[in-house]
Structure 1
Amino acid sequence: MIAAIIKEFHLLSRDLHGIAVLFLMPMIFMLIMSVALSQSDDVNQNSKIALVGDASNPINLLLIDELKNQNNIHVDSIELIDQDAAKVQLIQNHYDILVINPNTTITDLTHDAPLQLVSLAGTDALRLLNLEAILQKIYLQYRLPYLLTQQNSVPEHQYNTTQNIILEQQLANFLTTNIIVEEFLNTNGLVVVKPSSVQQSVPAWLIFGMFFIMIPLSNVMTCEKQTNTIIRLKLAKASATRLLFAKLIPYFIINQLQFLGMILLGIYVLPLVGIAGFVLQGPYWFYMMLSIAISLSALGYALLVSVLAKSAEHAVVLGGGGNILMAALGGIMVPSYMMPETMQTISLISPMSWALTGFHNLLLNQYNFTQILPQWLSLICFACIFLSLASAIYYRQLNKRYI
C-alpha cells in the first residue's frame, strides 16, 4: 500500500505543470468571479437618468428628489418639449435611461398617461426592473393620497352616490393598468421590440463553445507528437505552412457549423419548449463576418496551446482553464455591466469580450458592420498574432524532430 502511494506521488511529480494549473486556475477564477460580483447587489451602477417632464407638474420634482436619494443614480431634468433631443442624447450614451412623464398637470387618474421608460435595446434588464420598481413606489405614494383626498371630500351621506362609485372605479382601474410602459430604441432612433433574455444569452454561450475547438485540435496535435507522425510528414517534404492550413480548415468549418447550429437551435427549437425564439436582426452577412473573426481567434488560441502542450491532458487543462478565465473576464459568465468599473476595463483584454460586444451591438443595438469594425479588427489582430506565434513554434518543432 505504502509503495503504491509513493508511486502515485512520483507519477504526479512528473506533471508539475498540470498540478500548478489545477491549483492556480481555481484561485484565479475565484478571484475574478469574486471581484466581478462584488457590486452585483447594486444594480444601479452609476446610472445616468434624465427625467423628461413639464416643470409645472409637481410630481416631476418629487420624482427627481426621490431618485437622487437612491444610491449611484445621477438624475438630470429636461423639459418635456425637448424629449426628442433627450432621445438623441440617449443614443449618444449621455444617458442610460430616460423617464418621460407626459402628464403636464395633475388630473384625475382616468386621464393619467403612464410614465415612459425609454432605453437602448441593449440596456440591462435588471437595471430597468429596479428603476421601474422605484418609480412605481414613488408614483403610487403620491397619486393614491391624491385620490383618497378626493374620496374623503365626499360627504358621508353621499358614499353611495355616483361620484363615489366613479372614484372607486378610478382607483380600481389605476391599480390594474400599467403605470409605466417601456420603449426600446436602436442606435438609429427607431423603436424596436423588447429584447428577450435569449437574445442576450445565445451569443454568449455560442462564443464560449466556439473557443473550445481547442480540445479536438490539441488532441490531434499532441497525438502527432507522441506517435512521431510529424517526422513522417517532414520526410514526405510537406511544408509547415501547408500542414497548418490543412489542419485549420476542417476545424474552421466545424466552428461555422457550431455557429449555424446554435443559431438554428435558438430560432426553431427554443419555441418548441415554450421559450421565446432567437431572432437575428440585420443582414446575415454581418454575422457571417463576425463568425469568421471569432473562429480565427479561437483557432489561433487553440493552435498556440496545442503546440505548447506536452500532452493531451496538459492541453485540456491549460486550454480549458484559459477559456474559462477568458469567459469570466469577457462577460460570458457574469455580464460586464454588473462588474465594477475597474473590472469592466480589465475585461477588455479578453477576445470573448470583443466578440460578445460585437454580437450584441449587431443584435440588440442594430449596428451596421462599420460600427462593429473595432471589435472585428481586434479579433482579426488577435488571430494573426496567435497564429503567427503558433506557426513559428510549430516550424521549429518540425525541424527539431526531423534533425
Structure 2
Amino acid sequence: MLLYKLWRSFIKEILLLKRDIGGIVIIFVMPLLLIVTITLIQDSTFKNLEGSKIPIIFIDNDKSEVSKNIKGELENSKTFQLLTNFNEKSAQEAVFSGDYQMAIVIPENLTKDLNSNIESKVQTIVSSFGLENDSAKVTKVAPKAKEIHLYFDPATNAGFKNSVMNSVNKMVFEIENKKIYKAFQDQLGTTENLDENKNLISFKEITPKKGEMDVMPNSVQHNVPAWTLFAIFFIVVPLSINLVKEKSQGTSVRARISPTPYFVHILGKTCTYLIICIIQFLLMVAVGIYLFPYMDLPAFDVSGKMFQLIVVTLFAGLAAIGFGVLLGTIADTQEQSAPFGATSVVVLAAIGGIWVPVFLMPEFMQTIAKFSPMNWGLNAYYDIILRNSGIGGIAKELIFLFLFYLATVFISIFYEKKQNAV
C-alpha cells in the first residue's frame, strides 16, 4: 500500500513538471548551453596560451651578449612573438593604450656594465684571500646597477605579470651566475672545462599514466562534472516553486489530511527529481563524449568510471533535492523561492569551486568552501575522473551529501508540522 502511494506521488510530480515547460527548459536545455559555451571559451583560452604566441614588444638597446641571451630565451619559450620595430617611447604608448600586453626594454651597455660589475666584485673577493694575479691588482670602480624596463598593459592580469617578471628574473640570474663563475675561473687561472649550461638541480614532472600515455587534465574534465553539478542543483528552482504552488493552491492541505504520511510526498519528489538528475548527467556525458570531439575539444573519457560517476550523481541529486524541499517549505511565495533559489545555487557554485578553483580563493573562503555540498560533489567527481578513486575513496563526500539531504528534509518536515500545528 505504501509503495502504491509513493507511486501516485511520483506520477503527481511528473504531471506538475509536464505543465511547467519553462522549468523543463531550465532543467535540461540551459545546462547543455552552459557546458558547451564555457568549455569552448576555456579551451580556446588554453589553446591560445599553448598553441599560439603572445605578441610583445622587445627593444634591444644593448645589442650584445646578455640581451641576445634574453631574446633567445624568450623566443625559445614558444610563448611570445617578439616585435622589435619600436623605440621605448612608442612601446610605452602602445602598451599603455592596450595594443599590446607588454614591452621589455633592455638598457644600453648592459653586457659591458654587467661584466665590469662582476669583474670588480670578483677581484675584491679574490684579493681578500690574497689570491689575485698580477694582472688583476688594479681595482675597477663598479658601475651602477642596470634596470630592465617592463611595461604592462594596465588591464593585464596580475598572474601574467608575475609569471613574466619571474621568468625574466630567472634568465638574468642564470646569466649572472655563469658570468660570475667564468670570472672566478679567469681570476684563479683554472682551466677546468665544466658544462656551464648544465644545472646541478632540475625538475621532472611525473604525471599519472594510462598505458604508455600521460594522463593530462583538460577543460572538459573540469567542465563536465562542474556544470553537471550546477545543473543538478538548479532543480532547486522548479522544485521549490512547485512546493510553493502546492501551498497556494491547497494541494498541501489535501496531502496533510490524507492518510498518506507527509514523508511519502517527500520521497515521491525525491524519486522524481533523482531521475531528472540522472538524465541531466547522461545528457552532459553524452555531450562530452559525442559532441565535443566535433567541436575540436577533447572527448570526455568515462571508461571504467561510469558506475562511480552515477553514484556520485545520485548523492549530489539527494543533496540538491533536500535543499529544494527546504527552500520550498520555508518560502511563502514564488517571488521568494525563485530568485532566492537561483541566487543561492550561484553562490554555492562560486563557493564550491565551480567558477574559481578553491586553491585560488583566500584562506577564509577556502574554509567556507569545505561546507558547500557542491564542493563535496566536485571533489568526488575529481577523485574518480582525475585520481582514479573507487567508491571507498569518495565515501566521505558521499556521506556528507547524504547527511545534508537528511538534515534538510528533517528540518522541512519539522517546520511543516510546526507551521500547521493546531
Query: TM-score band (shorter)?
Result: 0.5 to 0.7
- Residue type at the aligned position of 1:306: G
1:294 is aligned to 316
Return the letter of the residue paired with 1:345: T
Which of 335, 341, 350 is residue 372 of structure 2 equivalent to?
350
- Partners of 1:189 and 1:372 lie apart in 2 by 24
Q: Deviations over 1:315-340 (max 9, x none)?
A: 11222222122111111111111112
Residue 231 of structure 1: aligned partner: 253
CA deviation string 1:141-162 (max 9, x = no partner): 858998xxxxxxxxxxxxxxxx
State the alpha-carbon separation in 2 of the partners of residues 266 and 197 from structure 1: 11
**Compared CA separation, residues 390 and 336, structure 1 to 2 (3 A):** same
Q: Distance in 2 between matches of 1:396 and 1:361?
A: 41
In 1, distance between residues paired with 2:395 and 2:313?
13
Tell me, in whole angstroms, the C-alpha distance in 2 between the residues paired with 1:236 and 1:182: 65
- Is 1:279 aligned to 2:301, yes or no? yes
Distance 2:216 2:265 in 1: 48
CA–CA separation in structure 1 for the residues paired with 2:286 and 2:403: 29
Within the candidate set 219, 225, 232, 1:210 is matched to: 232
Contact preservation (8 Å) 2:305, 2:385: no
TM-score by structure 1 length?
A: 0.53
- How is 1:1-400 mapped onto 2 (pairs within 5 angstroms)? 138=170, 142=174, 183-185=206-208, 192-280=214-302, 282-397=304-419, 399-400=420-421
User: CA 1:202/1:300 → structure 2, altered by over 3 Å: closer, same or farther?
Assistant: same
What's the offset of the Cα at 1:237? 2.7
Normalising by structure 2, we get a TM-score of: 0.51
1:248-302 superposed Cα distances (whole Å, 9 cap, x missing partner): 2111111111111111111111111111121225432211211111000000101
Give the residue type in structure 1 aligned to 2:207.
Answer: F
Counterparts of 1:340 and 1:281, CA distance in 2: 36
Return the alpha-carbon distance in structure 1 between the equivalents of residues 246 and 307 of structure 2: 37
Letter in 1 for 2:208: L
Whether the aligned pair in 1 keeps the contact of 2:384 and 2:390 (CA below 8 Å) is: yes
SS at match of 1:201: helix
In structure 1, C-alpha distance between the alignment counterparts of 2:213 and 2:175, rounded to whole Å = 29
2-side partners of 1:346 and 1:221: how far apart?
29
Question: How far apart are residue 189 of structure 1 and its match?
Answer: 12
CA-based RMSD:
3.6
Q: Any idea what the Cα deviations from partners look like across 1:3-38, whole Å, max 9, x if unmatched? A: xxxxxxxxxxxxxxxxxxxxxxxxxxxxxxxxxxxx
Can you list the C-alpha shifts for 1:191-233, whole angstroms capped at 9, x where unaligned?
7421111111221111111111111111211111111122233
- State the shift of 1:366 in Å: 1.4
Whichever residue aligns with residue 339 of structure 2, its letter is V
Structure 1 residues 41-94: Cα deviation after superposition (integer angstroms, max 9, x where no partner): xxxxxxxxxxxxxxxxxxxxxxxxxxxxxxxxxxxxxxxxxxxxxxxxxxxxxx
1:289 alignment partner AA: V
Q: Is the 8 A contact 1:132 1:180 kept in 2?
A: no
Would the alpha carbon gap of residues 254 and 133 (structure 1) be closer, same or farther in structure 2, given more than 3 Å must change? farther
The alpha carbon displacement at 1:133 in A equals 9.9
Matched residues, number? 245
State the one-letter code of the partner of 1:356: L
| d(CA) in 1 for partners of 2:364, 2:213 | 32
2:389 aligned counterpart, secondary structure: coil
Closer, same or farther: CA 281–348 of 1 in aligned 2, 3 Å: farther
Higher relative contact order (CA 8 A, sep 6+): 1
Q: Is the Cα contact below 8 Å between 1:282 and 1:363 reproduced in 2?
A: no
Q: 1:132 to 1:384 in 2, by over 3 A?
A: farther
Q: Is contact 1:183-1:191 (8 Å) kept? A: no
SS in 1 for 2:370: helix
The SS at the match of 1:349 is coil
User: Do the aligned partners of residues 359 and 231 (structure 1) sit closer, same or farther apart at CA in structure 2, a change above 3 Å counting?
Assistant: same
Q: AA paired with 1:231?
A: V
Which secondary structure state, in structure 2, belongs to the residue aligned with residue 184 of structure 1? coil
Pair 369,214 (structure 1): closer, same or farther in 2 beyond 3 Å: same
Amino acid at match of 2:311: M
Structure 2 distance, partners of 1:381, 1:221, is: 22
